């Protein structure tokens, strides 16, 4: 017997956290009974588990790569009706969820998957998966500020882990940096740059693990190639 949210995550329905939200929202049933409490233990081999009325084993595991445009939310549904990344994946039949989040104003590489375990591993800092960002920041950044970004910056939720911070170019009023992080805290790049005195003007994620948005226009997406999927899974020990 396993916890229902873990079973949902392993079945590729959502991350564990998202699976908890699905349960609390009353979208999950076990043997015909809607379950809205967390911690219920189930046996997926002998019990019939449905999400939105669909058996959980019915869906194959898939991962898509989206070149996210600015102005879209990294959620599946917005109660205020604002455009979400899910709206862009028009022809995707599977229930895929963003792997981590990009801010509404951030553009670039965003993966979406229905493989909960893969999503968990790609975002948990323990697995050390690299995310590379290009940040256009205000002001002429100094070598000292770059060093501080790479050594760690104190934020209200603790010091950031060592990162790679390289200069692409700097002018008198603006500079362009490349930051490679293995953490994925909320608004991390923006908060790090702000903390060293250089607020972000524009932010793009140019790489997630081995994947870039090369050949994909903003707003377009594609399914990962089998070789890319294998590589990604191997990277996080799956
Ligand atoms: N860091 C940020 O500040 N924003 C993002 O969208 C991603 C990383």
Tens of pLDDT, residue by residue over 111-128, are 999 888 899 999 999 999
In this predicted structure, which of 10-19, 72-81, 146-155 has the lowest mean pLDDT? 10-19
In testing the pocket of ligand 1, which one of 103, 123, 198 has its CB within 8 Å of the most ligand atoms? 103
For residue 184, report the distance from its CA to the centre of ligand 1, in Å: 8
- By the 8 A CB rule, do 98 and 74 touch? yes
In this structure, the strands spanning 107-113 and 200-208 are: parallel
More confident residue, 102 or 95: 102
In this structure, the strands spanning 54-55 and 49-51 are: antiparallel
Ligand 1 in reach of 109 Cβ (< 6 A): no
Average pLDDT for 207-227: 96
Last residue of a domain, one of 37, 55, 73: 55
- By the 8 A CB rule, do 181 and 189 touch? yes
Tell me if the pTM is above 0.85.
no
Considering the domain architecture, whether residues 203 and 226 belong to the same structural domain is answered as: no
Considering the domain architecture, whether residues 182 and 201 belong to the same structural domain is answered as: yes
In this predicted structure, which of 11-15, 159-163, 181-185, 196-200 has the lowest mean pLDDT? 11-15
Q: For residue 70, what are the domain limits? A: 63-125+210-235
Per the structure, the count of domains in the chain is: 3
Considering the domain architecture, whether residues 47 and 85 belong to the same structural domain is answered as: no
Considering the domain architecture, whether residues 197 and 146 belong to the same structural domain is answered as: yes
What are the percentages of helix, strand and coil residues in the chain, rounded to 5? 25, 30, 45
Would residue 31 show up in a list of annotated catalytic residues for this protein? no
Using the atom order of ligand 1, give the atom closest to the CA of residue 187.
Answer: 3
pLDDT at residue 59 tops 70: no
Considering the domain architecture, whether residues 149 and 119 belong to the same structural domain is answered as: no
| CATH number for 227 | 3.30.70.580
Percentage of residues of the chain with pLDDT beyond 90: 77
Considering the domain architecture, whether residues 171 and 195 belong to the same structural domain is answered as: yes
| CATH number for 11 | 3.10.290.10
Considering the domain architecture, whether residues 139 and 177 belong to the same structural domain is answered as: yes
In testing the pocket of ligand 1, which one of 67, 101, 102 has its CB within 8 Å of the most ligand atoms? 102
Ligand 1 in reach of 165 Cβ (< 6 A): no
Considering the domain architecture, whether residues 42 and 91 belong to the same structural domain is answered as: no
pLDDT at residue number 7: 86
Q: Rounded to whole angstroms, how far apart are CA atoms 10 and 123?
A: 16
pLDDT at residue number 91: 86
Average pLDDT, rounded, for the chain:
93
| CATH number for 146 | 3.30.70.1560
Considering the domain architecture, whether residues 90 and 202 belong to the same structural domain is answered as: no
Using the atom order of ligand 1, give the atom closest to the CA of residue 184.
Answer: 8
Using the atom order of ligand 1, give the atom closest to the CA of residue 205.
Answer: 7
Considering the domain architecture, whether residues 91 and 186 belong to the same structural domain is answered as: no
Considering the domain architecture, whether residues 6 and 49 belong to the same structural domain is answered as: yes
Confidence category of residue 58, pLDDT binned at 50, 70, 90: low
pLDDT at residue 17 tops 90: no
Considering the domain architecture, whether residues 106 and 137 belong to the same structural domain is answered as: no
Q: Who contacts 116 (Cβ-Cβ below 8 Å, separation ≥6)?
A: 8, 9, 10, 11, 12, 13, 14, 15, 16, 18, 19
| Protein residue closest via CA to atom 2 of ligand 1 | 187
Average pLDDT for 103-115: 96
CB atoms within 10 A of CB 231: 14
Confidence category of residue 37, pLDDT binned at 50, 70, 90: very high
In testing the pocket of ligand 1, which one of 190, 192, 206 has its CB within 8 Å of the most ligand atoms? 190
Q: Who contacts 25 (Cβ-Cβ below 8 Å, separation ≥6)?
A: none
Of these residues, 31, 43, 78, 103, which one is catalytic?
103
């Amino acid at each position: 017997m396993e916890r229902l949210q873990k079973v949902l995550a392993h079945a590729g329905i959502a991350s564990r956290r998202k699976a908890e939200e699905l349960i609390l929202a009353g979208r999950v049933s076990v043997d015909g009974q809607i379950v809205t409490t967390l911690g219920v233990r189930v046996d997926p081999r002998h019990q019939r588990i449905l999400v939105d009325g669909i058996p959980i084993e019915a869906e194959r595991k898939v991962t898509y790569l989206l070149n996210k445009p600015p102005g879209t939310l990294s959620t599946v549904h917005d109660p205020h009706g604002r455009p979400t990344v899910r709206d862009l994946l028009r022809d995707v039949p599977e229930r895929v969820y963003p792997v981590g989040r990009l801010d509404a104003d951030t553009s670039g590489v965003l993966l979406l998957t229905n493989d909960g375990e893969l999503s968990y591993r790609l975002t948990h800092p323990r697995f050390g998966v690299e995310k590379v960002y290009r940040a256009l920041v205000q002001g002429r950044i100094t070598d000292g500020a770059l060093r501080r970004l790479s050594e760690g910056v104190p934020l209200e939720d603790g010091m950031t882990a060592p990162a790679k911070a390289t200069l692409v170019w700097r002018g008198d009023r603006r500079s362009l940096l490349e930051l490679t992080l293995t953490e994925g805290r909320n608004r991390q790049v923006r908060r790090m740059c702000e903390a060293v005195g250089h607020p972000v003007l524009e932010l793009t994620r140019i790489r997630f693990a081995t994947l870039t948005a090369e050949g994909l226009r903003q707003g377009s997406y594609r399914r990962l190639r089998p070789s890319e999927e294998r590589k990604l899974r191997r990277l996080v020990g799956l």
